[in-house]
Structures are given as structure tokens and as C-alpha cells.
A and B are shown apart, each in its own frame.
Chain A
Amino acid sequence: MWRSLLLFLTLAASPLSAEEVVLGLSQDKVAITATFDGSEILIFGAVKREVPIPSNPPLEVVITVSGPSEPVTVRRKERKFGIWINTDTVEVDAAPTFYAVATSAPFNDAISNVEDQRHKVSIPKAIRSVGAPMTITDSQSFSEAIIRIRKSQGLYQLLENAVQVDEQTLFRTSLKMPANLAEGDYPARIFLTRGGDVISQYQTVINVDKVGLERWLYDMSRQKPLLYGLMSLAIAIAAGWGASAAFRLIRQG
């Protein structure tokens, strides 16, 4: 609550640009429950302006939502002695566990290369990789592998023409977040662009958290691992014995 207030205050304090974002989210929390099967988030907003709508070029909207960044080990297989073995390894310093980009036009029309570089908007720019070993000359293909694999899992999404803009003022889009989400804060960024240049940006946070039984089990497994292990065994054995006893009763009765 006070975070959004703070955001509002910093926004109010910053020098006003001609056009600004007023944002709404269908939800600012994603609760991972026992039956969690992914989530759809509606992101909508309006452009507030003190001046008439500039005629040219048209207003475009770019929206990104990213999950917590983590280091990733990428391994590549090669055929050695007739079998496929992991040979080359590249440690990618930080790759978001989830990353979605939605634009109101084809990506290259919505935001220029320079602005993409500056704000790290496109999927490849969101991955940070520096230290590939000297022996590997094509470290680029390892970053590409992360994108390819995570795209196929629905974790990375490039949604061109997915943001609807009405009257250069109202915009909305919906993002599908898959079930295999990592916990954490998911910053959502909204860029307003004209002619590929960012004229205004806005940031908010969507919180992804386990709740209820999921939360309790997860915390217990980290904080009291021995107790958790013993409990797992006890439940397993009780179920095994219980089923056996039930079968015996059925046979006799």
C-alpha cells in the first residue's frame, strides 16, 4: 500500500514530462496455492497529458514484466566416443526466471535500438552474460539457448501488437504467467514511446508468493529440514501401513 504511495510521490516529485502513465493492474499479487495453474494478469492504464495530443509520430506502448534474475549454468552436449556428453559450460551471470514483453506495434517500430539498449527491454538485453571461458568462441549461442528453452516453457514471451491503444490514451494488455513461476518481486515497466524514443516510463511491482499449505511446507523444508524429512517419512509410512490395513479389512470383511 505505502509502496504505491511512495511510487506516486516520487513520480509527482519528478519533473513532469508532457505525457505520463496512469496505471491499473487486475492484481498486484499472484498467490501460489496448491491448485495454482498459472495466472493471467491484466495490465491497463491511461496516458495523462497537460497538452494536446501531439499529431506525429503515433504513441506506442511497451510493457515488460520480469521475474527475479538468477545465475544460470548452460551446458552444451557434443558427441564423444559415440555418446552425447555435456562438454562446454557457460555460466550466465543473470537471467530473469520470467520475462514478458508486450508491445503495441512490431517491436522494432515500438522502440528504437538505442532505447532498447538503454532500458534493456528486449529479451536478449534482459540477460546479462560476461564471463564465458576463453575456450568458447560462440558464447552468444549459449544465451540464445536460454531464450529458446525458456520460450518453449512459456517463461519468455515476446508479444508484438499485443497492447491495445485506444485514442492514443487508453491502453491494455493481458499476460499469461505459467505455472512454473519462481517466487519473488516481478517488476512491471511501462514505456510510452513516440518514433521509437521513450518519452515516459512507469514502474510497479507484482508480487508472486506461495501461500497457505504451500508456504508452510516450503518454509519448514528450509528452516527445519530434519523435522521435515522425518515428517515426510512418517506420512509415507502411515499411508503405506494404512493402505495395507485397509486391504486386509476388505479381504476379511
Chain B
Amino acid sequence: MLTVSIVMQIYLPIAEVSVNAFLLLGLGGMVGILSGMFGVGGGFLMTPLLFFIGIPPAVAVATEANQIVASSFSGVLAHFKRKTVDLKMGCVLLVGGLIGAALGVVVFNYLKSQGQVDLLVRLCYVVFLGIIGSLMFIESLNAIRKSRKNTGPVKRKKHNWIHGLPFKMRFRVSGLYISVIPPVIVGVCVGILAAIMGVGGGFIMVPAMIYLLGMPTKVVVGTSLFQIIFVTGFTTLLHATTNYTVDIALAVLLLVGGVIGAQIGTRIGTRLKAEQLRILLALMVILVCAKLALDLLLQPTELYSLGAAGGH
């Protein structure tokens, strides 16, 4: 770590590029703060940022999975201490997540053979981030307005179709008695997205847990981090053994910044109100979505791109 802070440029052995060590530490720290605050892995932000500083996309995606494991791990430990992890719900989500990640790799390879995987990944980002960002933004604006008017507590637990499903299970930490089918399906979807988009999937899972499963916001963050650790760990191993694209030097630099950032973020998160937390996350998601959409809509300065033959 000492040598890292002295030496500015560092050569990454797998990515085969030379980058500024402080830049990587800074990126890791920034994304780590978000990870701790919102319970998102931050991959949806970090992966495009790594493309931007010249890391090959395949390496960025695989290494990002590895880095998310670390930043989530320190985050989840902080949440365990405050008893804000629903282990039972986490395990149910995890079962779905592992199935989804395996499915996602199959889907990814199919898209690769069709030759348009880059575009489809970007479109996935724009569509998912757009929908979720705007939904969260509107919802949290309404929540803030209601709490300002002080018209009594917001009623969250509504009875809907979810409560009619079989295989009910009691999740005491979340205060829920619901069917295991919706959480497993949420897990599968997140796993698929994790494998295809190279993200932890927190930005999908957190809203799904709040709005679909009706879990309390405070528990949602820790529980999603718990699931993310195992799904991204699984994804890391898949990438390391099939594509050889996990760059441990890159991961270590990102996570040194990331673990520190996550600790700071977790503390900021406990001080902010749930509504404020959500509106901040919504704004972040909309911002990244807008940037990705612009990249697709505006004419790029270089129309041509190079890839390894038969590449990704």
C-alpha cells in the first residue's frame, strides 16, 4: 500500500494497460461511499467508469465483480453489527441469484454469438436505469411531500396479489409473512442481470425489495449486500475460469479505496432519512441512464471500434 501511494503509474498485469494508481483509488472510494449509503454494489457506475479510463470492457466487468465482493463485505459486516440483515430473506434471494447468474451466462454467450452484445447491454442499462430511476424519484418525492404535510404515517404494507401465493414463509427481521416465490424470482432476475451487465444488481434488487416485497428500507440495504457478495463471488469465479479477465491488481486498488468509502457511506446512510436516501439514489440512477442514452443517441467522434478477432 505504501508503494502504491508513492508510485503514480501502475501497470495492470491482466488488463495490460498502465493507469494512475490514485485515479483507481479515488474511483474505488467514490463508488464505495455509494455502496455503503445505498446498499448498491456500485457496479452500474464503476463498470462504465472503467471503460472510460481505458480498461478493456471484458476485464472491467470481471474485475468489477471481484471488487464488489470486497466493498459489499465490509458494508455487510457493518450492517450485521446493527442487526439490519434479514438472513433468511437473504438466503432465499441468494438461491434465486445463483440460478440467475448461471442462466445469465448462457444468455450472454447466446447474445455474443449474435454479435450485438455491446448494444444490448447498453440498452439494458438505459431501460432498467430509466424505469427504476424515475419510479424511485417520483415515489420518494411523494413520500417527502406527505411527511412534510404530516398527514400521519405512510402506509406501506398493502395487500396485493403477492399475498395470495403459496409456500408462505415468515421473515421475522423484515416483519413479513409472504410466499417465497416473489423473492426467488427477484433473485433470479438480479442474477441474470448481474451476469449480463456486469453489476451487483443492487439497483434492481433494492427497489424490488421495497416496492414488490414490502421490506423495511433499513433491512433492505444489508440484506441486498449479503446476497450480492455471493452472486458476484460466483460471477468472479466464472469469469476467472472461462475468460481469464479478472485483474487482481486492478481489483486490489479499487477495493482499497472501496472498503474505506463503504465505511464512510454506511455512516452517512444512518444519518440520512430513508426518503432522502432514496431520492439521492434515484438521481444517481437517472444521471447514469441519461449519460448512457446520450452515448447511444449522439454521433460518436470515432465511428469505428477495434476488438480482438472473434471477440466480445
Contacts and interface: CB of A to CB of B under 8 A. Distances in A.
Task: Among B13, B237, B296, B300, find the residue whose CB has the most chain A CB atoms closer than 10 A.
Answer: B13
Given A34-B10, A233-B233, 6 more contacts: A37-B18, A77-B305, A229-B239, A232-B248, A237-B69, A240-B70
Contacts of B307: 72-75
A108 interface: no
B255 A232 contact: no
A84 B300 CA distance: 8
Interface in A65-93: 70-79, 82-86, 89, 91
Given A36-B11, A38-B18, A240-B259, A76 B248 contact: no
Given A74-B304, A228-B240, A232-B240, A218 B13 contact: yes
A217 B9 contact: no
A241 interface: yes
A122 B231 CA distance: 50
Interface stretch (B73-81, B99-107, B165-173, B176-184): B73-81
Interface in B223-266: 233, 236-237, 239-241, 244, 246, 248-249, 251-252, 255-256, 259-260, 262-263
A89 B115 CA distance: 10
B14 interface: yes
Nearest to B71: A240
Contacts of A228: 240, 246, 248
A73 B307 CA distance: 5
Interface string A210-253: 10011101100110011011111101110111111001100000
A225 B11 contact: no
Contacts of A226: 237, 240-241
Interface residues of A, number: 62
A145 B304 contact: yes
B2 interface: no
Contacts of A237: 69-70, 73
B13 A243 contact: no
Contact of A239 (B18, B255, B303): B255
Nearest to B116: A86
Interface in A94-124: none
Interface in B52-100: 54, 66-67, 69-74, 77-78, 81
B246 A221 contact: yes
B306 interface: yes
Contacts of A85: 116, 119
B308 interface: yes
B31 to A, nearest CB: 14
Contacts of A182: 16
7 contacts: A34-B7, A37-B18, A73-B310, A145-B306, A210-B13, A218-B14, A236-B66
A233 B236 contact: yes
A84 B116 contact: no
B17 A180 contact: yes
Q: Which of B10, B252, B303 has the largest count of A CB atoms less than 10 A from its CB?
A: B303
B309 interface: yes
A4 interface: no
Interface in B1-51: 7, 9-11, 13-14, 16-18
Contacts of B236: 229, 232-233
A73 B74 CA distance: 41
